[in-house]
A = this chain, B = another copy of it.
Amino acid sequence: VTTPAFPPDRLAAWRAYLESSQRLLTRLDDELRATSDLSFADYHVLLLLSEAPAGRLRMGELAARLIFSPSRLTYQINSMQRRGLVVRESCVRDRRGYEAVLTPAGRDALRAAATPHLAWVDQMFLNDLDEAEVAWLARIFTRLDSRLRATAVGTAADTPEEGREDARDHG
Complex copy number for this chain: 2
The answer to whether A71 has its CB under 8 Å from any CB of chain B is: no
Chain A, interface SS category: helix
Partner among B1, B23, B111, B128 whose Cβ is within 8 Å of the Cβ of A50: B1
The answer to whether A31 has its CB under 8 Å from any CB of chain B is: yes
The answer to whether A75 has its CB under 8 Å from any CB of chain B is: no
Contact A141 B34 (CB under 8 A): no
Given A124-B148, A126-B10: A22 in contact with B67 (beta carbons within 8 A): yes
* Chain B contacts for A111, CB-based, 8 A: 1-2
Q: How far is the CB of A40 from chain B (nearest CB, A)?
A: 10
Question: Nearest CB to that of A114 among chain B residues?
Answer: B1
